[in-house]
């Protein structure tokens, strides 16, 4: 397992000092995958470099299996670092070495005999499903295959912690899914503690057991994925779910944004709510999925009922939380905003990002965090 204790990284000194990581406390147990998410500039890459100690933290500890690594002198650190395997973005393979030679690199550094190394490399490539590509150079491999070689290399020295630094960024969705399922398999087989750093929110649902949200160097929220996704008030839980564009509710109806707010929501909740309210419910958008055996998701439902309190109660009875969906900004008229305003407040509190928070965030990320 790996624990970060009050991990702090400050660049520069005096008045120019910039605190990139501010007293982070994170625990990842063996056999657990923790996703760390956050927008660009949140400190994710610095966090990655502090975890495998390519950068020394300014203060705080990185504890792996009970040993604090942050205070070790450089030559001992080199040995200690072998307990942490790192998978980098775009794999960072050596272009002049074959897949097998890349995987053998950490073994070479360690001084393992060529015969032993060969056996171990074959075993690792087999494990990531690339035995048939052993003698191919990186330029002959697809993005997903390169990433698998990177994973095999990270596992060469049998680490107990695997750090994935944006390992699936830039891969297409299908490749991402296969890399992610490989990570989950390895986590189970090797009892790894995995720290999965990413800016891709949709990947987190497929890979993680728990998630932490890093923003401006601080962990704002962390918890089990199931808990985050079944808690209406969790900004991270909502950000992790796919963002949908609901259909129009139709004249006389209003759109309600519904989130799962408990672990015991009945599967036929739409019909039950419709019956309770005595009117047909229109499903305008929905995403529901199984996370660790629990149904989670959100939906947009169109209802004609003018009694907001009654509607909210009907949803609450089934473990759901409903709020009037804010009218799209482009509508912008006072009349529409008037009806939506209270709901908008209820819906977006307490974490609504300011409209111009995208200053240092890419449009793609902004969309994910919106």
Partner 1 sequence: MGVILPSAVIVSTLADTPIADLPALLVPALGETLAMVGIVMLVVVLVGTPTAVCLHNMAPGGLFENRGVYGVLSWIVNIGRSLPFLVLMAAIVPFTRFVTGTNIGIAAAVVPMSLAGIPFFARLVENCLRDVPRSVTQAARASGGSPLQIIRSAQLGEAVPAILGGLTINTIAMIEYSAIAGTIGAGGIGYVAVTYGYQRFDHTVMIATVVLLIALVTAVQLIGDGLVRATTPHLRRR
User: Does 52 engage in binding with partner 1 (CB under 8 A)?
Assistant: yes
Q: Kindly state the tokens that stand for 29.
A: 């147990």
How big is the CA angle at 360 (ends 355 and 363), to the nearest 5 degrees? 70
Tokens of residue 337, six digits: 């905003």
Binding mask 81-120 for partner 1 (x = CB under 8 A): xx-xxx-xxx-xxxxxx-------xx-xxx----------
The one segment of 46-54, 172-180, 212-220, 304-312 that binds partner 1 by CB under 8 A: 46-54
Q: Where are the alpha helices (DSSP H) in the chain?
A: 44-51, 74-80, 99-110, 114-127, 143-155, 173-190, 201-207, 225-229, 235-240, 269-277, 308-316, 334-348, 363-369
Least separation in angstroms between residue 287's CB and partner 1 is 35
Tell the smallest beta-carbon distance from residue 56 to partner 1 (Å): 13
Name the nearest CA neighbour of 358 among 350, 348, 344, 369: 369
Site string for partner 1, 131-170 (x = CB under 8 A): ------xxxx---------x--xx-xx-------------
Nearer to partner 1, 165 or 200 (CB): 165
Angle between helices 143-155 and 114-127 (to 10 degrees): 130
**Given the complex with partner 1, which of 58 and 137 has the nearer CB atom?**
137
> Cα(106)–Cα(33) distance, rounded to whole angstroms?
24
Work out the end-to-end distance of the chain between its first and last CA atoms, rounded to an integer number of angstroms. Answer: 33
User: Total binding residues for partner 1 by CB under 8 A?
Assistant: 33
Kindly indicate which of the ranges 80-88, 240-248, 254-262, 298-306 contains the residues binding partner 1, using the contact rule CB under 8 A: 80-88
Nearer to partner 1, 102 or 222 (CB): 102
CB 149, min distance to partner 1, A? 11
Gap between the Cα atoms of 158 and 82, Å rounded: 8
Q: Select 109 or 287, whichever has its Cβ closest to partner 1.
A: 109
Footprint on this chain of partner 1 (rule: CB under 8 A): 49, 52, 54, 78-79, 81-82, 84-86, 88-90, 92-97, 105-106, 108-110, 137-140, 150, 153-154, 156-157
């Amino acid at each position: 397992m790996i624990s970060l204790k009050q991990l702090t990284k400050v660049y520069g000194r005096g008045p120019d000092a910039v605190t990139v990581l501010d007293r982070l406390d994170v625990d990842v147990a063996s056999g657990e995958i923790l996703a760390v998410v956050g927008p660009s500039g949140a400190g994710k890459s610095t966090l990655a470099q502090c975890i495998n100690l390519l950068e020394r933290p300014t203060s705080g500890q990185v504890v792996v299996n009970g040993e604090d690594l942050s205070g070790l002198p450089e030559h001992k650190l080199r040995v200690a670092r072998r307990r942490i395997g790192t998978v980098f973005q775009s794999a960072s393979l050596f272009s002049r070495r074959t897949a097998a030679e890349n995987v053998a690199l950490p073994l070479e550094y360690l001084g393992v005999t060529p015969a032993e190394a060969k056996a171990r490399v074959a075993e690792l490539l087999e494990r990531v499903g690339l035995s048939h590509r052993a003698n191919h150079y990186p330029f002959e491999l697809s993005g997903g295959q390169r990433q698998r070689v990177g994973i095999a290399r990270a596992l060469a020295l049998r680490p107990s912690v695997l750090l994935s630094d944006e390992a699936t960024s830039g891969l297409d969705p299908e490749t991402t899914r296969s890399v992610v399922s490989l990570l989950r398999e390895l986590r189970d087989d090797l009892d790894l503690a995995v720290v999965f750093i990413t800016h891709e929110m949709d990947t987190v649902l497929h890979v993680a057991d728990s998630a932490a949200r890093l923003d401006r160097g601080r962990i704002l929220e962390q918890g089990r994925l199931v808990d985050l996704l079944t808690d209406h008030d969790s900004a991270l839980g909502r950000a992790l779910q796919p963002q949908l564009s609901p259909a129009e509710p139709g004249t006389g109806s209003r759109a309600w944004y519904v989130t799962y707010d408990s672990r015991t929501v009945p599967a036929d909740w739409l019909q039950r709510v419709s019956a309770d309210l005595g009117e047909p419910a229109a499903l305008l958008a929905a995403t529901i999925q199984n996370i660790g055996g629990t149904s989670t998701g959100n939906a947009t439902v169109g209802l004609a009922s003018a009694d907001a309190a009654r509607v909210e109660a009907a949803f609450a009875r089934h473990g759901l939380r409903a709020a009037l969906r804010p009218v799209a900004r482009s509508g912008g008229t006072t009349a529409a905003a008037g009806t939506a305003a209270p709901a908008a407040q209820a819906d977006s509190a307490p974490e609504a990002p300011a409209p111009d928070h995208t200053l240092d965030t890419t449009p793609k990320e902004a969309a994910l965090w919106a």
